[in-house]
Amino acid sequence: MKKFLKSSYFALILLFIYIPIAVMIMFSFNSGNTVSKWESFSLDWYKTFLENSPFIKSIVVSLFVAIVSTLISIVIGVLAVIGLTRIKTKPAKSWVRIANIPLVNADVITAVGLMLFFVFAGIKFGIFSLIAAHVSFNVPYVIITVLPFMARIDKNYLDASRDLGATNTKTIWKIVLPILTPAIITAAAICFAMSFDDFIISYFTGGEQTNVSSFIYTAKRMQPYINVFGVLVVVAIVIIVLIWNTIQIIDQKTKQTKELIKKGDYKIKQINHLKNRIAYWNKCIEKQNVLRFSWNFVEWFKLKIYGLQLKALNSKNLNAKISKLEWKIARLNDEIKSETRYKTIVTKLKEKKKQIEQKIAKLGNNKKVYKLEAISIKLEHKITKYQKEIDWIKERDELDKQKALEIGEEIAELKSDLAKLSKDNKDVEWYNNKIANLTKKQKELNEGVNKAKLREAIAKLANMNSSIISNIDKKHEQWLNQKHKVFRKIAFAANIDKQIAALDKNAANYQSELDRLNALRSEKNSMIEQSYYAKISKAEDKLNKLNGEISTKKAKYFPDITAEGYVAKRKPWIQKSWKRLTMGILLVGSFGALTTAYIKNNIYDLVIGNWGSYIDPTLITDFEKENGVKINYQQYDSNESLYNKSYTFSYDIMVPSDYMVKKLAQENKLAKIDWCKVTSLQTPNYPGHGQACENKDNNPDFEPTETYDKINDTLVNILNKTQLDQTSEVILNYGIPWLWGDVRMVFNMNNPDMVDLLESKGIYNKETKETDSSKLSWNILWEAADKGFRLTLNEDPKNEFMFAFEKLFGQVQAIKPSESNHNLSKQQQIDIAEQEVKSLLAHRNVGLYGDQLTDKVHSGDFDIAVMYNGDAIYAHSGDYESEGEEGEGENSDNPSGNDENSEAEESANEMRVTNKIEGGDPDLESITMVPGAPAEYEGFESINQKTNIWSDNLVISADNRNLDLTYKFINFIYTRDSQEKIAEETGATVPLNYIVENAPYEGVLADWYKPTDDGDPFDLDTTWDNYLVDKFNNIIATKN
C-alpha cells in the first residue's frame, strides 16, 4: 500500500505538470477562435502562426538575445568563478553574496535600475541594452551553478599540471574546463531558459526590440496561435532531450564496452554460448547420440515447476534471519562474558584499594593523603557497584536452581500420574508434552538462561544453514532427474538399431540383413556427423570473428605499448576532431542563420507601436509583401507604457488614447496629419480645417460618398471636444481614429430580481421588452449594491470616478469651476465623488476586474456589469469564426433576397462588409444601456447624465523616418477590407461610418456595436488625475 501511495503521488505530480501541456497541444489543432472550447480538428492556426510576421520576429529576437546573452554570461561567469577560487575565502564569500543580489531582488526593481542606468549613461535602448540587461541577471546563475563544481576539483590535478610545466591558461583549458563542462552546460541551459522567458526586464530595457514574452503579455487576449508556439517549443525541447540522451547512451555504451574488454567479459555470453554449443556437438559426435526434447507436456511442465522452485530457493533471501541470529549469539556471548568479568574486576579493584590504603598508612603528607583517600573512595564506589551486579547474578542463579528443583518435583508428580494412565487414554499426549516442556525449562535453569539461549541460537542457525543447503540439493536432484526425462539421449541411428534388435537370428537371411542394416547405420552416423562438423565449423567461424572484433577493439582502446616494435599511431586531425568539427559547424551555421534572420528582420522601414491584439497580424504581412518593406511592429499594454517608451525609443506610428494624443501633441512629439495624403478617407470636418487637397479634388474618380469612406460623425464630434491647451487645436490635427467605443451598463436579464428592479423604475417593460434610458441613472449601481446584486465593474480609476461624476454632476470628470457648475473647484468635485465611490466599493458584492471582467460576464456570473461596448460584445459572442468562406453565394446582407438590389448596392459600394459574425451566446440574455437621467447633485438637475466615449488614435511621430511609407500604411489600413479584419480581430468599433452602420455582427450585438451619440471623452489633466488616482488607491486599500 505504501508503494502504491508513493507511485500514485508521483503520478499526480506528473499529471499536474503534463496535463496543461497536453491541453495546449490539443487546442493548437482547434479550428475555433477560443482557447476554452473545442470545435473541430484543423491546422489553420499553424498557418496563422507562420503568417504572423510580428510574432515570428519576436521569436527571432528572443532566440538571438537568449543565445548571445548566454554565451557572454558563460564567459563572464566561468572567469568569475575561476577568479573567486584563487582569492581568500572571506572576500570570495562576500563577492558571491554581492553577485547573488540580482537573484533575490525583484525583477521590476532590477528592470527600473537598468533602465535608469542606460538613460544616465546615454546608451540607446535596443539590442545592446537588452543583451546587457539579460547578461546582468544571467551571470549570477552561472556563478551559483559552476562554483560548487569548481570547489570540488581535486587540487592535485592542478598541482600536477603545474609540475609538468603547464601555464595557467593551459591548465584552465586542459584541466579545469573539461571537468566543469557538465556544470557549464547546465548553467547555459538555465541562462537560455531565463533569457528566453524574461518579460519585465526586457520590457523596460528592450527599446525597439520585442521578445516573445513581451509580445504575448501585451496582447489584449490569449490568441490560439500562442498554443502553436508552445507546441513547437515542446517539440524542440523533446528533440534536444532525445539527441542529448542518445549521445549519453552511446557514450555510456562505449565506456561499458571498454570496461568489459578490460575485464575480459566483452560479449562473454555470446562466446560462452558458442563454446557450449561446440562442446555439445563434439560430445554428440563422440557418443553417437543426441538430446531430444520430449513432447510429453506433463513432463515438460514438471521440469518448469522444478526449475522455478529451484530458482526461488536460490533467490530466497534469509540474510535478515541469519543476521538476526548471529546478532543474538553475539549479544548473548557479550552478556555471558560480562557476567564472568565482574568477579575479575572486583578482585582487581580490591587489590588496588588495598595498595592505596597501604600507601596512605606510610605517608605523612596530608595533601597526598587526601588525594589517595579520594581515589580510594572512588574505588569503593566501583567495588560496590560491581558487587551489586555479582550479588544479583548469584541471587538469580540460586533462584534458578530453586525453580529447577521445584520443576523436578513437578515432573516427578506428572510421571507418577502418567504411569497410572493407560496407553489409550487421551491425556497421555498432554502429559508427555507437559513433561517435555518442563524438562527443557529445568535444563535451561540448571545450565543458565543465557547459556541455554546461546546454545539454542547456535543450533537454530546451524539447522537453518543445513536446511537451506539440503532443500537446494534435493530440489536440484529432482530437477536433474526430470531434465533427463524431458531431454532424452537418442542414438543417431536409433531407428536402425531398433530394426537390428528386431531381427530373427534363426532366419536364413539374418546375416545378410544384419550386414545391410549395419552399413546403413554407419552411413547415417557419418551423415549426421558431417552435419554436426558443419555446424561446429560455422560456430567456430563466428567465435573467431568475435575474438577478432574483441582483439581489434582491445588494440584500439588498450594498445600494448610494451610490445616490441610498438609505434603510436597518430590520427589525422580530421579523424580525431570530426565530431567537434561537425558540432561546431552546426552551431556556428545555426547561429549564423539566426543572426542573418535577426539582422534581416531588424532592417526595417517603419516602426509601429500599438496596443496588444489591436490588429489582424495578416495585415502587417500583407502590407510588407505588397510594398516590399519591413515593419517593426511592437505592442504595449497601457498609454503610460507607451509614453515611457517614447523616452527610450522612437516610433514612426503610435496608437495612443485620445488624452495621450493631447499630451504628446502638447510636448511637440507628434507631427500633424496631412489629410491630403490620406486618400482612403474623406477629410473629417474639424475646427480650423481649411486645407485644400488637390490630389483628392482633382481626382476624376473621386466620389466622396462612394469611393472614399468617412469617419463616423459622432466620433468626429467627440474628437473635436479634445483640444490642446495652448493652441485650442483639436486632436484630429494629430490623429486618425483607430478604434472607439463607450462605457455602458450590461444587465443580466436571466435574473428575475434584476428584471423586477428595472421594471419598477420604468427602465424596462417586461411585456414589450422596450427600454427607456432617460429613466436610467448611474445611481442604480449604488441601489443594486445595497440590495445585494452582483456588480462587476471596470477597474480603471477614471471610470470608477466617472460613475460618481455623472451621477452627481452629469460630467465624466472634474472640470474647471464656472457658473454652470456653481464654481465648485476640481478638488471639491473629486472629494465629493470620492465619498460616492467609497460607499459603492465598500460592498462585498461589488468587484473590480481587468481582463477578467469579460470572463465574469461570459459565464453569467454578474447582475450588472459596467464595461466597454466592445468587451460586452466579446463576452456575449458565441463564436468569432468568419462566415465569409462558408456563406459565399448567400445573400447575408440582403435578407429580402432581391439580387438586383444586391447588385445595385454592390456596384455603388465597391468595398462592402462581407464578414458576418454569429449573433450572441444563446445561454446569455442581457441588455445594455447608457444612462440619460438628470444629474442628482443639488443645482445640477438640469444636466442629463451621459457616459465616457473613448478613442484610440493613430498618430505620426515628430521624428518620423519615412513619411511616404507612413501614409501608404495609413491608406492601406483604412480600406474597408482592412477595417473589417480589425473589427473581426478586436471586436471593437472601427471609425469607418459604413462599418459602424453595417456592423459585422448580427442580432442585438449589431446594436451594441454602435457607440452612443451622447457622451464625452476624458480630457488630460495631469495634476488632478494623479490626485484622483491617489484617492482611488486609498479606497481600494481599505476595501474588504
Per-residue model confidence as pLDDT tens digits over 727-778: 788 899 999 999 999 999 999 999 999 999 999 999 998 888 889 999 999 9
Specify the DSSP element, H or E, that contains 735.
strand 735-748
The pLDDT confidence band at residue 1039, using thresholds 50, 70 and 90, is confident
Q: How far is it, in rounded angstroms, from Cα 502 to Cα 714?
A: 123
Exposed / middle / buried, residue 344 (Cβ in 10 Å: 0-12, 13-18, 19+): exposed
Q: How far is CA 897 from the centre of its chain?
A: 55
Would you state the cell numbers that stand for residue 1033, as one nine-digit string? 488607491
CB neighbour list of residue 300: distance below 8 Å, 6 or more residues apart: 294, 486
Q: How far is it, in rounded angstroms, from Cα 452 to Cα 461?
A: 14
Q: Give mean pLDDT, residues 71-100.
A: 89
Neighbouring C-beta atoms of residue 643, cutoff 10 Å: 17
pLDDT of residue 868: 92
Measuring CA to CA, how many Å separate 888 from each of 231, 893, 915? 33, 11, 10
Specify the DSSP element, H or E, that contains 633.
strand 631-636
The better pLDDT of the pair 12, 561 is held by 12
The pLDDT confidence band at residue 1003, using thresholds 50, 70 and 90, is confident
Instruction: List the single range of 460-464, 717-721, 877-881 with lowest mean pLDDT.
Output: 877-881
Q: Give mean pLDDT, residues 809-834.
A: 88
Would you state the cell numbers that stand for residue 348, as one nine-digit string? 582487581
Would you state the cell numbers that stand for residue 325, as one nine-digit string? 541470529
Q: How far is it, in rounded angstroms, from Cα 898 to Cα 902?
A: 6
Characterize the bridge pairing of strands 735-748 and 864-868. Answer: antiparallel
pLDDT > 70? residue 235: yes
pLDDT > 80? residue 444: no
pLDDT of residue 588: 86
Do residues 916 and 1002 make contact, with C-beta atoms less than 8 angstroms apart?
yes
pLDDT of residue 934: 92
Characterize the bridge pairing of strands 949-957 and 606-611. Answer: unpaired
Quick check: helix, strand or coil at residue 889? Answer: coil
Q: What is the pLDDT of residues 387-401, one digit of tens each?
A: 888 888 888 878 878
Q: What percent of the chain has pLDDT over 90?
A: 26
Place of cell 527599446: 207
Would you state the cell numbers that stand for residue 571, as one nine-digit string? 590520427
CB neighbour list of residue 917: distance below 8 Å, 6 or more residues apart: 877, 879, 880, 881, 882, 883, 984, 1000, 1001, 1002, 1005
pLDDT of residue 332: 72
Q: Of the candidates 868, 829, 863, 821, which has an alpha carbon nearest to the alpha carbon of residue 846? A: 863
* Nearest-10 crossing angle of helices 53-84, 127-151: 40
Do residues 979 and 837 make contact, with C-beta atoms less than 8 angstroms apart?
no
Q: What is the DSSP string of 958-998?
A: TT-S-HHHHHHHHHHHTSHHHHHHHHHHH-SBPSBHHHHHS
How many Cα atoms are found within 13 Å in the side-chain-facing hemisphere of 261?
A: 20
Q: What is the pLDDT of residues 852-868, one digit of tens each?
A: 888 888 888 899 999 99
How high is the mean pLDDT of the chain? 83
Q: How far is it, in rounded angstroms, from Cα 397 to Cα 401?
A: 6
pLDDT > 50? residue 452: yes
Neighbouring C-beta atoms of residue 153, cutoff 10 Å: 14
Measuring CA to CA, how many Å separate 398 from each of 344, 388, 854? 21, 15, 93
Alpha helices in 152-224 (DSSP H): 155-163, 168-171, 177-197, 200-205, 212-217
* Nearest-10 crossing angle of helices 573-602, 53-84: 130
458-461 long-range contacts, Cβ below 8 Å, gap at least 24? 458/329, 460/325, 461/322, 461/325, 461/326, 461/329
Q: What is the pLDDT of residues 906-925, one digit of tens each?
A: 333 333 333 333 444 556 78
pLDDT > 60? residue 73: yes
Neighbouring C-beta atoms of residue 975, cutoff 10 Å: 16
pLDDT > 60? residue 296: yes
Would you state the cell numbers that stand for residue 771, as one nine-digit string? 427600454
Q: What is the pLDDT of residues 13-47, one digit of tens each?
A: 888 888 888 888 888 888 776 666 777 888 888 88
pLDDT of residue 735: 93
Would you state the cell numbers that stand for residue 851, as one nine-digit string? 481582463
pLDDT > 90? residue 836: yes
pLDDT > 50? residue 895: no
Q: How far is it, in rounded angstroms, from Cα 770 to Cα 780?
A: 18
Quick check: helix, strand or coil at residue 928? Answer: strand
Q: Give mean pLDDT, residues 1024-1038.
A: 88
What value does the CA radius of gyration of the chain take, rounded to a whole number of Å? 48
CB neighbour list of residue 858: distance below 8 Å, 6 or more residues apart: 875, 876, 921, 924
Exposed / middle / buried, residue 609 (Cβ in 10 Å: 0-12, 13-18, 19+): buried
Do residues 884 and 849 make contact, with C-beta atoms less than 8 angstroms apart?
no
Please name the amino acid found at residue 485.
Answer: K
Exposed / middle / buried, residue 743 (Cβ in 10 Å: 0-12, 13-18, 19+): buried
Do residues 731 and 665 make contact, with C-beta atoms less than 8 angstroms apart?
yes
Do residues 852 and 889 make contact, with C-beta atoms less than 8 angstroms apart?
no
What's the helix, strand, coil split of the chain in %, to 5?
65, 10, 30
The pLDDT confidence band at residue 695, using thresholds 50, 70 and 90, is low
Do residues 651 and 956 make contact, with C-beta atoms less than 8 angstroms apart?
no
Measuring CA to CA, how many Å separate 307 from each of 272, 369, 691, 724, 913? 21, 81, 105, 99, 83
Q: Of the candidates 1023, 882, 950, 874, which has an alpha carbon nearest to the alpha carbon of residue 222? A: 874
CB neighbour list of residue 563: distance below 8 Å, 6 or more residues apart: none
Q: How far is it, in rounded angstroms, from Cα 811 to Cα 1018?
A: 10
Please name the amino acid found at residue 864.
Answer: I
Place of cell 534572420: 597
Query: What backbone phi and psi angles, to 5 degrees, belong to 791?
Result: -110, 130
Separation of first and last alpha carbons in the chain: 46
Q: How far is it, in rounded angstroms, from Cα 814 to Cα 811?
A: 7
pLDDT > 70? residue 886: no
Please name the amino acid found at residue 204.
Answer: F
Highest mean pLDDT among 863-867, 894-898, 1000-1004: 863-867
